[in-house]
Every structure is written in structure tokens, then in C-alpha cells.
Structure 1
Amino acid sequence: MIICATDGYIISAIGPYLSDWYNNDAVITKHILLNNKEEVQDWLVEKDIMIVDRGCRDCLDLVNSFSYTTFMPLFLPKSKKQFSTSEANNRFVTVLRWVVESVNGRIKTFKFFEHVVQNSSLLYVHGYLSIVCAIINAYRPTFINDTSNDDYLSKAFLEKRNKQNELEAKLNDKERNKSKHWKKINADDCIIDFPKLTEADLKDFTLGVLQLKQARSYALEHISEDGQYEIHVCQQQQNLLRANLQSKHSNRKDYNVLIQYNDQTVIAACCACRNGNRNIGCCSHIASIIWYLGIARHDKHKYLNHRSSSYMKLFEDAAEVSDRSSDEEDDDAILYSSA
């Protein structure tokens, strides 16, 4: 198990542990604390904050009994399809947790840990991991070097944490969602009153970089074969638009997105996906629409010159057959059945 600081500095690499059903994150965490592995309790003090994954939910009581403070993303109950605004905002802990995943990814850049370790090397695997972690700490930069924007981000998080998403009720209003209240248009050459934004402006709205990385792929997938970016504008309320985006996890799911704006910026946004109600940042569906309307369509040569869906034209589909082939197969079937 890797323990690291919020900037990515690796504090300790404890293990290796068995990879069976019993040795999950919670059990491993309990084992480390109760056995004081590597004198972990000597360099942890009361009220230290631990950012943990949801796999550690069964050990939170034990960790808190040591007077440590824990933060963990919430689980979505089976009875619900979407987090409420307050629940979705709780996931701001992932803003800090991404460092752990980045550390694990950096370790795997070393060839030995990139693949499955052979049994003959198990005797040395902990030593190798310790050496790799020491090399990373000594010669690789931390993941967070610029902290000049931290005060702004933390203030924005705290200000929005307990606010309700104003568009949540409108998104769930079945009457308002009827097609008679909306007009379908091509956003490529319409909605001229939507504010022109910079990537820095969008980053301030998303309060993160993951959504920025995914925005382009979502937007390109939403563009039709004839180059149209379809959205709907509300006929009863000005500066309110709606779009329907495909889920990246399932072809059978799509999500409605509402965005309210003025001539300067985006005021509010809401999506029907699991985390779409949050006020702290936004989901990738929302980010992709804002990215397209506020940035990409104003410089198509830079942002929209390649589409992954166009690669489908490079392949032939064996399921497509000519009428002649079908007729010949039918004739053969008749001859064989007659014989």
C-alpha cells in the first residue's frame, strides 16, 4: 500500500500483501495501524487528515479512533440514480485523491512494475519498490508545484459547498422537459449570445483538469456526420439551453444537460448523470458543451480538425452484403433443400 502526501511525495510503501478477497483496502489499513507497521503511528499525529478511497469504508471507525480525520467520497445508494447537490459536492475529496492514482501510475512507468511480476522475483519485490519510490522522490518533480491558486480554489469550494443547484428542479420537471418548450438548433452558427471563453475561464468553472481533458472527446462524439452540434434552446426562458449527451460508460444511457448563461459567463449548469447536480466544478458532459460553445467553435481548425469517429471509414463492415449475394445464397439454400 502506498502512503503519500498531498503533493505526491511518497511517504511509505508497505507490503506486499496477498491479493485475495480478504486483503482489501480496509483490512490492509487496519493491519498497518494495529501492528504499527514501519512505526506509522510515530510519524502520524492527532487530527492528521487522511484522504481515502471508498474501499476503506469498513475501517473508518478504527482510523477515527486513533484521532485521525478521514475524508472519503460518498456511495450512491441503490435506491437512487443521482447524488443530491450536497452529496455530489462531497466528492470534492477526489480533487486531492487523484495524486494517489498519479503516484501509482508513475511507479508503473518503471519497466519492472509495468507488467505482472514473476514468482521468482517475489523475494525482492518490496526492496525494488522501495528503491523505485526513493528514486521518484529524489529525482522526479512533485505533482503539485504551483500553489499560488490554492487559496482561490479552497475559497470557491467552501463558498459553493452548501449551495443548492438552481437548475436541479428544472432538469427534473417533466412538464418543462417536453419538446414543445424547446427548439432544436445547430449550435455551430447559432447562440451568438453565448460568451466566448478561454481555457482558463473554463478551468475556473470546472475547478479541475479532468473535465477539460474529456471535454473534447465528448464534444466530437456529439457532432453529427454532417457537422452539426445539436442542442435545444428554451422558448419560455432566455439564455437557457439543453443538450443530450451519450454516456461514455454505456451506449444505452444518455443524459440531459441544462446550462444557464449570460453574455459574460456561465451562471449555472446541471446534468442528469450521477454527479451532475454538484456546484463544486461540473461533470464532463457539462464541460464539453461549454467547451464547444465558448471555445472550440470559434477556432475549429485548432480544436475540431480530427474526429475519432471518422476512423470508422477506414474499415469495411462484413455485415454489409450486396443484394446479389443475398439472392445467390437464397438460391443455394433452395437447391440444397430440394436435393
Structure 2
Amino acid sequence: MRLSLSNRLLAILFHIENKRNVSHIISQVRIALMKDFVPAHLGLHHIDRVTAINQHQTTIATILHTTKPQQLYVAADSTYLFIQKSSDNKFQRRSYSMHKHRHLVKPVILTTTDGYILCVMGPFLSDYKSNDASIFKHCVYNNEQDILNWLHDDDVLILDREFRDTVRAMKQFGFQVAMSSFLNGRKQFSLEEANLYRCITKVRWIVESVNAQLKQWKYFSQTIPNSSVCALINAYGSRCVQDIHSGTEMATQVLQKCQTTNPVLLRLELLETKLQWKKYDAQLLISTELTEQELRNLCY
């Protein structure tokens, strides 16, 4: 699955008589994975909240976004798997994405803040009726994998802006939602909104990294049960965050910077309307060499 080798090449490498036998072996392996391996390493039933909090919740997420003890912070996002054009006309139309201009299906992934995959729901169709918000609401309303009992009140869901239509529904179920704001016709965010967006991004990158890990499996260019790969990543892959207990100092600095004013914005507001511009050349360039830690401080 990792290298997407053809059955003919696998038969040569493992000295198997013909590629038909390889196909039969792969089918048996897939059935064995889905029967025994996947349930042990993927799904909300294979891990409890306490384990997820104690072993897979980073210190940065806890300091920045949780307000109560034993409060879980979960990132949710959807990704896409390209598929071939179906001969079934109805499925062909409903699996065509107007955004990607290709046929694809969309699974929804829930991860902890260290990159551990809690569960994969779907895959779902990708037509105009199945955007990220409607898919996620469908999962919650239908209690997919008993998600309503697994998550508790005041647990935090970090969502992208594509899930904006789910915010009211998630709050009705008792969950908190961490999502960046919208400009709504303004030129820029306020200082408080920009700082909140940075705090969310500081944690949300994990789910994007998990999606990138899935795409590294070249067999995803074909049709494959996505649950098998997610279970393999949980069992044998490395976490996006190796040490979940590190980052206390960084999170403290982030909170301190959130309370400061923006000196650049204040200076721009004090400038006169008419400015005197002059050409900028190499003689005016003043640059200093920054260390890695100084770059990290500048980038939050």
C-alpha cells in the first residue's frame, strides 16, 4: 500500500506463481486487517477519553484552549480520495466535485492534538449537497461511532471555516467550537481576533499534517479502504508531536503576547495621510542574522 506496487511486480519480488494469487492474498490481508487489526487501533471504541487526554493531548492545547480539568480538545477535518469515474450514472454525478473538478469521496477524520487518529467516518459523496459542514452534522446527528456519548459537555472541537454552518448545532449539543473569525467586509481583523486565530492555528495544523501523512501512501491514487491505513499509522507511525508535555514555556509566551498591543498598527494610525516616499536600495538595507529560537519567537 505504501509504494502502490502492481500485482505483477509483487509476484516477481515474492516469487509468487502469478498475479492472480497475489490478488487473492491481498484480499485475505484486507479482510484480516478490517476484522482484527483496525478495531484494535482505530475508532472511538478502541480508546477512552481519559487515555486520549493523558497520552495524546499536548500541553500547548491544554494551556491555550481548555478552561476546565479533563477537557478534551479534538480537531476535525475532511480530506479527499480520488476515484475512477463510475459506470453508475447516479453515483458518477454525486461523486463529482465541482471544487476539484474530479471524482472523489470525502472521509472525515478526528484527531487528538498530537496527531493520533481517533476515528475515520465515511467516506461520503462529494457533490454540492455534501459539503464539509453538512457531512459533519450528519455524523453528529446520526451519532456515528457513538460520538455523542464519547465526547462530553464543554469538550472543544477545532474546526475550519468550512464548518461554519455547524457551529450552532455543535453548541446545542454542549460542545465548544474553536474557529477563526470572518472579516465580514472589514479590511483586517482586530488585534483580539488575530491573536485568537493564531492560537487556533498553533494547534489546528495537526489535522492538516495527518491528512498529508495519508496522502504519502501512494496506493491512495486508487480505491482503498481508508480505515486500514489510518490504523497502520496509529499502530506503527510516529506522532506529529513527539512529546506532548513540552511547550509549556511557548504556550505561556503566546498567552502573554495575546495581551500586548500592536505597536506597528498604532504607529500606522498616527502617521499623516500624505507620506513622503523615497526609493529603497541596498544601502538602506539593515538585516541581522537571527537564531532559530529568535525566528520561532517571531513566528509565535
Shift of 1:105: 0.9
**Residue 60 of structure 1 aligns with which residue?**
167
**Residue 186 of structure 1 aligns with which residue?**
282
Shift of 1:18: 1.1
One-letter identity of the residue aligned with 1:160: K
One-letter identity of the residue aligned with 2:192: S
Q: Is the 8 A contact 1:47 1:68 kept in 2?
A: yes
One-letter identity of the residue aligned with 1:150: G
Q: 2:235 pairs with 120, 138, 149, which one?
A: 138
Q: Is the 8 A contact 1:10 1:137 kept in 2?
A: yes
Change (3 A) 1:204 1:146: farther
**Residue 80 of structure 1 aligns with which residue?**
186
The separation in 1 between residues aligned to 2:236 and 2:274, in whole angstroms, is 55
Report matched runs for 1:75-154 at 5 Å: 75-77=182-184, 79-92=185-198, 93-113=200-220, 115=221, 117=222, 121=223, 125=224, 128-147=225-244, 149-154=246-251
Scaled by the length of structure 2, what TM-score is found?
0.59
Instruction: List runs of 5+ in structure 1 lacking aligned partners.
Output: 208-339
Report the aligned-residue RMSD.
2.2
Larger Rg: 1
Scaled by the length of structure 1, what TM-score is found?
0.52
Change (3 A) 1:174 1:59: same
**Residue 202 of structure 1 aligns with which residue?**
295
**Residue 27 of structure 1 aligns with which residue?**
134
Q: Is the 8 A contact 1:170 1:176 kept in 2?
A: no
Secondary structure of residue in 2 paired with 1:14: strand
Shift of 1:98: 0.9
Greater relative contact order structure (CA < 8 Å, 6+ sep)? 2
Q: 1:14 pairs with 121, 142, 155, which one?
A: 121
Output one character per residue of 1:228-262: Cα deviation in whole Å (capped at 9) or x when no partner: xxxxxxxxxxxxxxxxxxxxxxxxxxxxxxxxxxx
The separation in 1 between residues aligned to 2:274 and 2:258, in whole angstroms, is 27
Write out the 4+ residue segments of structure 1 that deviate beyond 4 Å after TM superposition: none
The separation in 2 between residues aligned to 1:62 and 1:143, in whole angstroms, is 30
| Number of aligned residues | 192
Secondary structure of residue in 2 paired with 1:179: coil
Output one character per residue of 1:63-119: Cα deviation in whole Å (capped at 9) or x when no partner: 112211110011122x22222211211212011111111111111111121x3x4xx
Identity of aligned residues (%): 36
Shift of 1:157: 1.9
> Do structure 1's residue 157 and structure 2's residue 254 form an aligned pair?
yes
The separation in 2 between residues aligned to 1:32 and 1:200, in whole angstroms, is 42
Q: Is the 8 A contact 1:73 1:91 kept in 2?
A: yes
**Residue 111 of structure 2 aligns with which residue?**
4
Output one character per residue of 1:132-175: Cα deviation in whole Å (capped at 9) or x when no partner: 00000111110001345411122122222243202103234552
